[in-house]
Amino acid sequence: MSTQVPDSQTQTETETETEETPGDRARARRDAAREDRAQKEAAEESLEDEETVHLKVFRYDPEVEGKMEPRFDDFHVPFEKGMTVLDALIYARDTYDASLTFRHSCRQAICGSDALFVNGKQRLGCKTQLSELADPVRVEPLPHAEVRKDLVVDMSHFYDQMEAVEPYFQTDETPDGELEEQRQTRENREKIKMSTRCIWCGACMSSCNIAAGNNEYLGPAAINKAYRFAMDEREGEDMQQHRLNIIEQENGVWRCQTQFSCTEVCPKDIPLTEHIQELKREAVKNNLKFW
């Protein structure tokens, strides 16, 4: 019996028989698209006897031809008790359109990444119950920010304004002992407690009409962060003076017109407008001279 390896001609014939042609690839793509449509139709048919929520979601993709013109897409999502807007978006993305783009992370109202404009108001997607919203639920990106894709906006300007107030602890003096704590009174902690809850979601900035028309305005989130440190007794008088100098500038606290829109949309219930007004009073006292 011969054990000779097939000659090159036989190998070439075998490779030719197994090589995929452009036609094969085209048929495979058509089959995949057909299967995808069948799955979507099956999913929609399964919803006919279920309670559903109608989502109208803003769509925009500047990098894909045919999607550069902003539009709204409709999704019908099965409703379950306790379901949030974020839950519905995730279902729509995973079931109907994998290209649907939005930010989310912790799903516990802590990271602040899923701030959206839902039914005309800034809200956290993971905190907003669908049962509390009128149908259809209209989901849009945060206003007054550049849209990158679908529900994702550019947060660079917001972060720049936050950084402008130096949002980190700076102290004039440290305890003598290496392991000694820098103590804070209970009263002072209570005073600044609410201001420490900011999660940098940008909802307040998006709701502020002054910030919408003036990119130089620090905005409620940044001013609240300045309040958190300016009112912290551990930083000392020199640093407090430095922070007051930052926030009492032309585009600082004096740009606020006390509309309370920032306070109304804050998902952590921070009294932002009150903090801004208190800093105004501190700025006035800081500039009073008696001689």
Domain ranges across the chain: 34-153, 156-171+186-287
- pLDDT tens for each residue of 136-185: 999 999 999 999 999 999 999 999 999 999 999 998 778 888 788 888 99
Beta carbons of 196 and 224 less than 8 angstroms apart? no
Look at residues 219, 200, 199 and name the one whose alpha carbon lies nearest to residue 211: 219
CATH for 156-171+186-287 (3.40.190.10, 1.10.1060.10, 1.20.1440.230, 3.30.1490.20)? 1.10.1060.10
Q: What does the pLDDT read at residue 45?
A: 60
- pLDDT category at 90 given cuts 50, 70, 90 is very high
Q: Which residues contact 277 (CB under 8 A, 6 or more apart)?
A: 256, 258
The pTM is what? 0.79
- pLDDT tens for each residue of 259-277: 999 999 999 999 999 999 9
Bridge partners (DSSP) of residue 55 are 75, 137
Beta carbons of 159 and 205 less than 8 angstroms apart? no
Tell the CATH topology of 34-153. Answer: Ubiquitin-like (UB roll) (3.10.20)
Give me the half-sphere count of Cα atoms (radius 13 Å) on the Cβ side of residue 46. 10
